[in-house]
Amino acid sequence: MAVAQSMKITADTTAHGIARGHSTPVRAASVFFGFAFIWAGAGLWMVPGLDLEPSILLAKMFVSVLLVTGGVGMTQIATERPHCELQFDPKHRQARLIEGLPRGRSHVVKTVNYEDIARVNVSDADLVMLNDEGKILVELPLDGPHARLDAIAHLRSQSLQVA
């Protein structure tokens, strides 16, 4: 049984066929309402009650925990970034582009056979796999020179042409 080698590339933009995450207005709204919920949950304790009965304190505690939890969840929407992983399967001679989803799930976005890859261009900014006609098969952003060297090492271990 062959073990698949993987190269993890965190990306939140430009990969073909991969969602870019939430749009800017959605992220801005989630940050705004998230912090508003957090402040409302904390501010609920600043509002004086008629009297400090246990039932009123329990209701305040329940509502404030609910507001703060919702606010933290909404702010997480704005900071969540999808990530990609390029896995090499030497047994099947395939490269698989895998998108990470929330809660630890993932799915295969694209599968490319080694025979379809004519050339791979690797720079500090991105990795691009091209076919014989020069059409882009896979494009992934890289995080600088260290990621570039790691990508080149993985590609050479699979006997793929690196340019």
Mean pLDDT along residues 55-78 = 90
- Beta carbons of 154 and 5 less than 8 angstroms apart: yes
Q: Which pTM was predicted? A: 0.53
pLDDT at 102: 66
pLDDT digits (tens, 9 = 90+) for 31-52: 999 999 999 999 988 877 667 7
pLDDT at 1: 40
Q: Residues 154, 160, 161, 163: what is their CA dihedral angle, to the nearest 10 degrees?
A: -30
pLDDT at 124: 83
Q: Is the per-residue pLDDT at 11 higher than 50?
A: no
pLDDT digits (tens, 9 = 90+) for 105-157: 788 888 888 888 888 888 888 888 888 888 988 888 887 888 888 888 888 88
Q: How confident is the model at residue 85 (pLDDT cuts 50, 70, 90)?
A: confident
pLDDT at 81: 65
pLDDT at 157: 82
Tell me the pLDDT of the chain averaged across its residues. 80
